[in-house]
Every structure is written in C-alpha cells, then in structure tokens.
Structure 1
Amino acid sequence: MTDTDIDARPEQGHVPWYVDGNFGPVFDEVTDLDLRVTGSIPPSLSGRYLRTGSNPPSGMSSHWFAGDGMVHGVRIEAGKAVWYRNRYVQTTKLQRGLDASDPEVMLDPTASSANTSVQAHAGRIWALEELHLPYELSPELDTIGSDDFGGKLTTAFTAHPKLCPETGELHFFGYSPLPPFLTYHVLDANGALVHSTEIEVPKGTMMHDFMITRDHAIFMDLPIVFDLTNMESPIGWDDTYGARIGIMPRMGTNADIRWFEIDPCYVFHPLNAYVEDDVVVCDVGRHASMSMQPEVYTPPAHLHRWTFDLTTGAVNEQRLDELTHAFSRVDDRVVGLKHRYGWGVSHRDGSETTLREPGVVVRWDVVTGTQANYDLGPDAFPSEFVFVQDDDAAAEDEGWAIGFVYNASDDSSDLVILDASAPGSEPVARIHLPQRVPFGFHGTWVDDSALHA
C-alpha cells in the first residue's frame, strides 16, 4: 500500500479505503442451502471453513481494525457444499452500537469486535479479537456469548492462540495498554484454563501474535507502544523502545524468560517456530516499521528467519524471500514443530502486497528455498488460505489449501479449494457464494472431528 493509495478522507466527503469497494460491509445475514460448485469438492473434506472480518453495520468505522465482526462460513460434507452462512457476532460492542474508540470499549471485557480470527478447541468455536474476551459460536454461527472460562480469565485473549498438535493444549496470551501489560495462559486439551502468569515488559505494546515450539512460548516485544496520554494517537511506533524476543519454557513463569535483542521491526504474523538442538528457529513476516494510522505508508512484510542460540546467546536474522506477502500460515499439524511448507498471499506482479490489487496464493518451501504461486486470474483477490490434510496420514503438502477469493470482474466471491501438492494448478473446486465476502482477516478449517472432542 502506498501513500497514493489513500486519497479518501471522511472530512473531504469521500469514503475511506477501509470501507470502500470490497473492504466495505455487507448488510444482509444470509443462509444459502443451494450452493453452485465448479469442479469437484474432495470427499475427504468434512467440516466448516470459517473466517471473520470487520463489517461495521453503519457502513463506517474509525479504522479497518475497528468494525464489528461478521463470520462467514461454508459447510462441506461428503463432496457437497451444504450451506453458506454469514452472521454478526452479537457482542456487547455491536449491541450497544459502540465504536472501538469509545472509552466503554476499553473498560468492558465483553465489548469485543470479534473481527480478527476464529479458533476451535475442545469442541467449541470462538470468534476472537485481541483486547477482549472470546465469543463462543454455535456450529451454525449463532452467538452463544462471551467466555471467561468460569471466571478464571481476567485478561484479554489473543486473536492468535497456538494449538499444540502433540498435547492438545491451547497456548495464548493477553496484552493490555494498562498493567498487567502481558499475561501468558494455557488451556488444557479439555478446554480448562490451567496456567496463567504475568510476563514483565516495560510498556503495553500491540503484541498481535506469538509463537510456540515443542518446548517454548515465544513473545515479540516490538515498538508499537501504547501512550494513553496522547488520546489523538494512543498507539504508535516508538523509536526509543527497541525490539526483543522473549523465549521461555512452556508452562513457565516470568522468572524463566530470556530476552534477545533484535533490530527494530514489526511482525503481525509469524509463519511458525521450532527448536533444533539448542537453537530456536522463528520464520516471520517482518515489516521494517509499522504505522497504526490507516493513511500512513507502512513497509510490506518479507519472510525472514530469526535464530536464537540458547547456549551461546547468538542471534541471527536472514531474509528468506524477496516477495512481499500477507497472511502467512503453516499446516496446523506442524505448529511448533519443524515445517517445510508455508502459505501466504502476495501481489500478482510481485510488488508490494495490498488487498487493493489482484493477488496470488503463495506456497513456500523453506527447505529448498523456493516459492510457487497459484494465479487465479487478473481480477482475483485471494484472502488468507489455510491448509487441510487429505487424511490423518497425509504429508505436509498432501491435502488442500482453502480460502475466500473476491472476483472483481463480477463483484462476487468464491470459496476456492486448491491442490496443495500442485502449485500453479487450477482450483480443484470453486464454491460460488450468494454474496460477496468483504476483505477480512483470519479463518480456520473446523473439521467435524474437532466438534466432537
């Protein structure tokens, strides 16, 4: 995104970019039980693809991140597209008609936008946003209510928890502009909150995501910092704050954490992390800097590898790819473990990534150091794609990459299924949706087996 992309200001009588075109909301909650499909849906898929995003019911919000959450979902079973549904998450913020800038939103832990991601765990589904409690949804996307785990959770719940594929634990954290600034939590495989501990950091920072390995929890203390004395711009880049990575044993406490200084940068989304011998490896989408003002230019993300030697203390950083990208993901079965493949979205001509321009789906092979694209056409705008294995024994690339794609040529959206083992191939299936899906944030595949936990 460049400065010239942002030429619309509310005070000029124009529509801000983040509520314009396919960034703009849809206003109807739809149920469609008769979906048209091009191609063949793999019969191994049985579950729901769910994705949330910012969808202000008034048509206007103060920031792209501030609109009320609407979840879009497609149910797939036995080679058929059973339904499409889109539903607002019925949060306190939505029901009271609050903007994210209203003081009540900061003070009420239930006043979530619920617009950032969706997570299934222990037979439940939550819509998440990083400064409030999660909201539980039914499998049909009806809102059940906010969840504080029996009163045990007294902080926010990150929009990017990490589900350990080996233990079934869900690791997460909460950050805040007020003390405690950072708290680490763990849900056990049954969904009970079994561990909470405060992590000491100098200030409240916008810690959007984090990482785990088989042995560690990894926190990114980066220089997007809260300053509540400046109410016109209460969060922004601080050149004096520095940047560091905190690595601690899973289920550890603040006494166990080790901090490693890195060059100042910002990371919205890591790809994954793992430990090899005594070295922690983190593959991340690194921005050279970051602005929280929607009209200010922000450098794009490039895939980087950080390594932290726990024996010597040595830190190394390496750029892995020249492509800019967004929405990096790995196979959920290798979260915290050594990975080979990753998925993301990039600009179609290889320049800066922005959803304002047509894009391609990218598959990285970090072992060979190569990348390959799925080009869905000159008018295609792919959102985040997630990997779904073909069966329990499938390798890391044996399965399907699934995500929403907006088609600018006819103002429509599809759920697209790609063959993960065949980069460059045409989609295996396109499920045509009854209305467009606005550009949003993060989604997940909720396998039927996850709801029977």
Structure 2
Amino acid sequence: MTTKPYLTGHYTPVPDETTAVDLPVTGALPPELNGEYLRNGHNPKPGITPSHWFKGSGMLHGVRLENGRAQWYRNRWVKTPALDGAPLVREDGSIDLTASVAGTHIVEHGGRLLALQESNLPFEVTPELDTVGPFDFHGKLTSAMTAHPKQDPATGELHFFSYSPFPPHLTYYVASPEGHIIRSQVVNGSGPSLMHDFAITATKAVFLDLPVVFDPEETSGIPYRWHDDYPARIGVLDRIGTPHVTWIPVSQRALLHVTNAYDTPDGKIVLEGPAYDQASWATSWKWWTGAPGYPTAPVSGAIATRWLLDPATATATEQELDDLVTDFPTINEDRTGLPSDISYSVAFPGAGLDEFAIVKLNTTTGQRHLHRPGPDRHAGEAVFVPAAGATGEDDGYLLTIVSDLRANASQLLVLDAHDLSTTATVELPRRVPSGIHGSWIPDTHLTS
C-alpha cells in the first residue's frame, strides 16, 4: 500500500502528547515577546490513515516565551468527537457541527482560544492547550465557521462566514470584540463552491466563488472538484449602510488563502493572494489525497496574484506579482483590510527554487527577500509580531517552526522581519510535523 504523502517526511505525525520546559535558546529572544506561539496542523492518531490531508485530526503545538526565555513547549490533540471517530454526518443525515478535526487554525478572540476547521463549530482550548469544548458564540452560531476569520484592527470586531453546498450557500457574520454575534446575513447569489478564505477592507467584505465546486462524486472525503464550466466570480459586499453584494467575473483560478485586501481612493478594491490555475490545482490535489503521481510538495504552481476589482462596473483586472510557488501568506495584521505592501509566504520547490523557504515580498517595489532554512528543512507559515514601538509595516519579527529531517528535530525560529535574518532559535524537544496555520497570542490577550 502506498503511504500517503501527508503521513511521511516533514508531515510524519507524532504519536503522543508531551511537555518540555526551559527550552534551549540560541541568540537573544526579543524582550517584548511575552506570550504564546500556537500552531495547528493535521496529526491523525497512530494507525489511522485519513483519505485526505485535511481530514487528519488537529494537533496544537505551543511555545511559551517570557522575559527572554522559552518557558515551555506543549503539543495536544484537540479533543473533539471526531478524534474518536465520530462522523460529520450522522446516520439520520443531520450534521454534527461538533464532529470537527479542528486542525486548520487557532486564533484568539474575546479572551478565548479557538481551534478552527471550516466544516464545524470552533473548539475552545485553554492557554495550556487543554480542550474546553465547542463554542457557538453563546448559542447564536448554528452553522459552521470558516477557519480564516478576520479581526478588524480599528474596531476589534471579528468577521467570518459559513459556507455550504446547500442553500443558503453563504452566510456572513460579525462578532463584537467580546465575542457576541452582532450581524448575521445571507449573501445572495453565491454558489456551492469551496470558500476556504475571504477578505475584509475598511468598507467591504470580499468573497470567493471560484471553480472548485461541490461534487458528490469526489471520493477523497472532501467532496469538491474543479469544474471549468463554473464561472469564477468575486463578491464584494458593503459592510456599511444598506448591504449590497456585487459579483465580479474573474478568470478561472482558485484561491485557498487571501493575503490582504483594501480600498483604493477611487472606489476600487485591491485583493491579493496566491492563485492556482486548473493544472496546478489538480497537481496539488494529488498530494492532498495521495493520488498516483503526486508531487514532492503540497503546493504546486500557486503564484502571488493581485486583482483590482471595480464594483461600479463589475469588472476586474489581474496581475501576477512574483514567479515563486507560494502559499500560506501572512501580513502584519495591524494592516488587515488596510493598504499594505509587504507579505510573508512559504515558498515551495519549483520555479527555480529547489528547497523550502520563507519569502518576503514588497508588492510595490517588487523587492524580494528569502530565508532559506537549508537542505531537508521546511519552515512553515511565518507569523508576524510587531516590535516594541514599531512604526513601519515590517518593524517586527516572524515566528515559524522548522522541521529538520536530517537531524530529526525542530526549532522555533525568530526572524527579523526586515531582512529575514535569524534573531533567535528555540530548540524544541522533538521534530514537529509541518502544519497549517497559527497565531502569536500576547499575554495581554491570554486568560486562564
């Protein structure tokens, strides 16, 4: 039997939970880094082979930093019904929104740490990564929640959505800074497409209705497949005043992750993210499902792309921004929904790059910096943390966990966000599997 690629190499699951304290540090940890770096990822239990990368049970990895020390490392499965085999669809055909693998992301909002998977309710965990249970926003959320909510840096509100292959296909939510839902709206005109991410600007919410569409004949367990006859569209919804959505035709591309979006002075919207064409999506999907002929890395052919959307004319222009194969983009989240120039992404082998790297891209100047971890080393998503007294967009640090196959080890790297040089290295007690998304949670946002 062929071993699935997401259970081998950098993605080989760990078999248990562990805790280590007083971790060795090389270099100097910035004194303002007081909090926890938390990262989520798919880590099925020993003996279990999920049919798709996205179906593996979620495991959280955390490193606590305080006063220049790395106090502890912990890894914990998110204890959901799905961890013990409960299906999403019950025998009577109803959906169990608590049967989440909770393996895509972890965020903080309203003092709660929420492990996310887009087909389910969020799962709350403690700062020590113990599972509290599902969180339904005090009974107001009765559908699934995206794994990519956006917090408005001006208001502290959390914007998110629920999508479904069945009507209503798309519902938009806003939660207050304290975690109470204050807006719930069906977005008219949406279809049964895979909507993994979205964007906000200061005045709009931006939704992706692209050609990866619900298909019950897909056998991988994730029932979506590229349909080239499904017209790609991007929806622009007014956040302010009377809600109105404009659907804008775009070329046939797929987008898993948004980098950022923002308004322009003349009423247009800039949207950026790594885009897949049909061939690159099909190749990447082979890795995610372990199909014959899968590539060596989970991302193939995704290219940083910019759309300029004009709601007044329902038209768009598109521009490729770089030629590296990238995904998992991040920004300085203080710029969420606001004009920004700088993004950080994971670069995958391809397009002249023969190893994994972290890439910093300035989309205004075209300047690019690379951090190359080295042979057989895979740095995951890089999370930006502002430096004390920061004024510039890149005044801060990047946190990323590296999987090192040669040493069978991992480190938490703290990189200078200006030039991607290494500020500090924290040695972790085991090799941490390459994962998905994470967050830096400062002590001011943590509650016990």
Task: Give the SS at the match of 1:333.
Answer: helix
Distance of 1:209 and 1:125 partners within structure 2: 19
1:444 to 434, 439, 442: 439
Q: Distance in 1 between matches of 2:433 and 2:165?
A: 30
Q: How many residues align?
A: 433
- Take 1:50 and 1:106, find their aligned partners in 2: how far apart are those partners? 33
In structure 2, do the counterparts of structure 1 residues 141 and 366 end up closer, same or farther at CA, with 3 Å as the change threshold? same
1:309-366: CA deviations, max 9, x gaps?
23344311011101111211111100100012100111367447xxxx7311100111
Is the 1:105–1:112 Cα contact (8 Å) retained in structure 2? no
Matched AA of 2:362: D
Question: In structure 2, what is the Cα distance between the partners aligned to 1:105 and 1:431?
Answer: 47
Paired amino acid for 2:373: L
Whether 1:434 aligns to 2:429 is: yes
Whether contact under 8 Å (2:268, 2:310) holds in the other structure is yes
Q: Which residue matches 2:329? A: 328
Give how far 1:98 is off.
3.9
Q: Distance in 1 between matches of 2:18 and 2:93?
A: 28
TM-score (norm 2): 0.92
Per-residue CA deviations over 1:382-440 (Å, capped at 9, x if unaligned) read: 100011001254321111011101112111111100011123x3x11111111111111
Percent of pairs identical after alignment? Answer: 41
Partner of residue 217, structure 1: 205
Decide whether the 8 Å contact of 1:122 with 1:451 is kept in 2: no
Aligned residue in 2 for 1:197: 185
- Give matches, 1:113-128, under 5 Å: 113-128=101-116
Q: Residues 276-291 of structure 1: matches in 2 within 5 Å?
A: 276-277=264-265, 278-289=267-278, 290-291=281-282
- Inter-partner Cα distance in structure 2 for 1:440 and 1:452: 25
**Alpha-carbon RMSD:** 2.2
Name the counterpart of 2:130.
142
Q: 2:154 and 2:316 mapped to 1: Cα distance?
A: 28
- The equivalences for 1:342-357 within 5 A come to 342-347=343-348, 350-351=351-352
Is 1:77 the counterpart of 2:46? The answer is: no
Aligned: 1:244 with 2:245: no
Q: Is the 8 A contact 1:53 1:69 kept in 2?
A: yes
> Which residue number in structure 1 is paired with residue 339 of structure 2?
338
User: 1:159: which partner in 2?
Assistant: 147
Letter aligned with residue 67 of structure 1: G
Look up the equivalent residue of 1:371 and give its one-letter code: R
Q: Give yes or no for contact 2:90–2:96 (8 Å, CA) kept in 1.
A: no
Work out whether residues 186 and 251 of structure 1, in 8 Å CA contact, stay in contact via their aligned partners in 2. Answer: no
C-alpha spacing 1:399/1:229, structure 2 compared with 1 (3 Å): closer
CA change 1:104–1:117 in 2 (3 A) is farther
**Aligned partners of 2:435, 2:164: CA distance in 1, in Å?**
23
Give 2:96's match in structure 1, choosing from 99, 108, 133.
108
Match of residue 88, structure 1, among 52, 77, 83: 77
Q: Distance in 2 between matches of 1:363 and 1:319?
A: 16
C-alpha contact (below 8 Å) 1:324/1:351 kept by paired residues? no
Instruction: State the alpha-carbon separation in 2 of the partners of residues 127 and 232 from structure 1.
Output: 23
- Partner deviation per Cα, 1:169-192 (whole Å, 9 max, x = no partner): 100001112222111001111111
AA aligned opposite 1:341: I
Q: CA deviation at 1:36?
A: 1.1
User: Any idea what SS the aligned residue of 1:61 has?
Assistant: coil
Q: Which residue does 1:362 correspond to in 2?
A: 359
Whether the aligned pair in 2 keeps the contact of 1:243 and 1:265 (CA below 8 Å) is: yes
2-side partners of 1:251 and 1:193: how far apart? 16
Q: Any idea what the Cα deviations from partners look like across 1:9-40, whole Å, max 9, x if unmatched?
A: xxxx2311111122121012111112111111
Q: Is 1:21 aligned to 2:22, yes or no?
A: no
The answer (yes or no) to whether the contact 2:204–2:239 under 8 Å persists in 1 is yes
Residue deviations 1:230-250 (CA, integer Å, cap 9, x gap): 667732011111100000112
Identify the match of residue 371 of structure 1 among 368, 371, 375: 368
Q: Which amino acid aligns with 1:162?
A: K
Distance 1:192 1:31 in 2: 34
Distance 1:17 1:393, change over 3 A: closer
**Matches for 1:26-37 after TM superposition, within 5 Å:** 26-37=14-25
CA 1:275–1:104 in 2, change beyond 3 Å: closer, same or farther? farther
| Unaligned stretches of 5+ residues in structure 2 | none
Distance 1:198 1:238, change over 3 A: same
* Cα separation, partners in 2 of 1:61 and 1:98, compared to 1, 3 Å: farther
- Corresponding residue for 1:3? none
Q: Which moved more, 1:408-417 or 1:244-253?
A: 244-253
Instruction: Verify the 8 A CA contact 1:66 1:99 in the aligned structure 2.
Output: no
| Aligned-partner Cα distance in 1 for 2:121–2:241 | 23
CA 1:106/1:318 → structure 2, altered by over 3 Å: closer, same or farther?
A: farther
Q: How far apart are residue 216 of structure 1 and its match? A: 0.6
- 1:251 is displaced (CA, Å) by 5.9
Q: Give SS of 2:257's match.
A: strand
* Structure 1 gap segments, 5+ residues each: 1-12
Look up the SS of the partner of 1:34 in the other structure.
Answer: strand
> 1:252 offset after TM fit, Å?
6.8
Shift of 1:102: 8.1
Contact 1:112 1:131 in 2 (8 A): yes
Pick the aligned partner of 1:386 from 377, 380, 383. 383
Residues 178, 204 of structure 1: 8 Å contact kept: yes
For 2:232, the aligned partner's letter is A
Displacement of 1:224 after TM fit? 1.0
TM-score w.r.t. length of structure 1: 0.91
Residue in structure 2 matched with residue 131 of structure 1 by the alignment: 119
